[in-house]
Each structure stands twice: as structure tokens, then as C-alpha cells.
Amino acid sequence: MNASVERFLNHLRAERNASALTIKSYREDLEALAEYLAETRGGDPPPPSGISVLDLRGYVAALSEAGYAPATVSRRLASLRSFFKFGLREGWVDTNPAKPLRNPRRHRKLPHFLSPEEIGRLLASPPTDRAAGLRDRAILETMYSAGLRIGELVAVSDGDLDLAAGIVRVRGKGRRERLAPLGSYAVDALQQWLARRRLHVHEPTGSDAPMFVNRFGRRITTRSVARMLEKYLKQAGLDTRTTPHSLRHSFATHLLDRGADIRSVQELLGHKSLVTTQIYTHVSTAALRRIYEKAHPRAG
């Protein structure tokens, strides 16, 4: 086994011009396999020709049980595939036992979101006796009401709004446009902001004029919105890990929790693929599971 590993590493150096760091990673991955096989077989590791698919399945299972991340396991499998592929070329193995093995599925991190009560506290934080507070309240209400990305929010212009119908035209990823509904609270907040903005010395005009502006009358930036959100999170005593995108996560989660079907949520979010939206069903299911385990007498 050791001799085969050295031949493979020399091949990487000479023919593939691999870096020292790459060589080190391959060596560690292959030595880890050899150590596992020696331990499980109670002696020296077998030659590459004596390693089977079952051996490698056991190795992958051991890595997972030891708590290795799916990305790490996938990288080690890639090393093994390359090693045995070289062995096939050199003639010291007849098959590549790593080839049939699939990479483990990466666990998608569940999105952070606020509860409806926390959203209420956040939206009540901006003061309504100043222009900046009215603007900030309109921003937060609009982001949550329509489930907007931060880039979509700052791109909204006056001509994109139809407050009478409660609709905003949104320019999403890939230049895709969609119409997003606005709730009554968002419409009210926008009306109050527009009435105050009209008194602004630098107020822009025309359908292309930015809806949300800074004190100089220029379109507000995504960075400014993120800083503004952080300020109100602290004021409301909420988790400061919350980002502007967390409001979009909250929007989707709350809709599903209240019975909205996933395809409608997909349309509202502007997702091209339903797969992207499905992560919110995991959040909803997790919440239901917690409720079930807390309330059902025979759940535990």
C-alpha cells in the first residue's frame, strides 16, 4: 500500500504539477484509509488490489460516525477515486472501488428567521416622528411584507409601486421581474414615508426616482439598510445575527406555517426552482415537530 501511495504522489508531482499542499492533502487522505484498514483487519493494510467497495463503504461510514463534515468526506472520496484511477492505469488494480460510492449529501443550513412576535417588535422600533424613522419603517415593512431580497428593495423606484392595488414590481435575479403583493401595514408605511419624502429638499422626481433615499436624496445602499437593521435589532433586543435576508426567510416560513402551499411561496419569492424553496418546508416541519413533542402525551 505504501509503495503504491508514493508512486501516485510522484505522479501528481511530475505529471500534474500538484502543489506541496495538494500532495500533503492526498497523502493524509490515503494514510487515513490505510490506518482504518489496518485497524479493522488487525494487521498491515492490504495492497490496493485487495481493497473492495465494502471496505470503502465501511470507511465512509466510520468517517460519518466520527463527525466528519459531508464536505470533508466528499474530498476524501475524491482522493480515493483519483488514487484508484491511477492504479487502473498502472495495472495494479482491476477496478476502481471508489467509483460506485456517492458523495454524502451536504446538510443544508436551515435559514435563520424571526418569529411573528419578534417581527412585530422589530417593525415597531423605528420612530415615526422623524423622516428617517418613517423611511426605515417603510423599508422594514416592505421587505417583510413582500419577501424582498435587499438588492431588490433598494432597486425599487417610484414607478414600480401601485399602492392602490397593493403591488410592487420587483426586479429579481437574472433580470426576472415579478409582481409582489404588499400588505396593508406596508402600504400605510409607504404612504407615510412618501408624504414626508415630498418635503425633502433633495426629493427625486419621475418614475425612475428611487423609492428609498438617503439624506442627500440619493438611492439608499444595501450597506446602509444592513446597518439600519442592526441598529433596530439592538433596540428591540433581538438576535443580532439577523440579516436583511432573514426577513425574507421569516416571510416564507410564516406563510408556510399558516398553510400557504409551497408553489405559491415559490412564486412570491421569485425562485426559479422549487428545490430552492423546499428548504423552508424543513424549517416549518422542524417547528411542527417541536410543537408535537411538547404537546403530545406520547411523543417522547
Number of H helices, E strands in the chain: 13, 3
Burial 97-124 (b: 16+ CB within 10 A, else e): bbeebeebeeeeeebebbeeebbebbbe
| Catalytic residue list contains 282 | no
> Which of 149, 197, 249, 254 does the annotation list as catalytic?
149
Q: Under a CB-based contact definition with an 8 Å cutoff, are residues 49 and 92 in contact?
A: yes
| Catalytic residue list contains 149 | yes
| Catalytic residue list contains 89 | no
Burial 149-173 (b: 16+ CB within 10 A, else e): bbebbbbbbeebbeeeebbbebbbe
Q: Which residues contact 35 (CB under 8 A, 6 or more apart)?
A: 45
> Which of 13, 16, 173, 289 does the annotation list as catalytic?
173
Burial 237-266 (b: 16+ CB within 10 A, else e): ebeeebbbbbbbbbbbbbbbeeeeebeebb
> Which of 135, 248, 249, 254 does the annotation list as catalytic?
248
| Catalytic residue list contains 36 | no
| Catalytic residue list contains 75 | no
Residue 251 phi, psi (nearest 5): -55, -50
Tell me which residues are annotated as active site. Answer: 149, 173, 245, 248, 271, 280
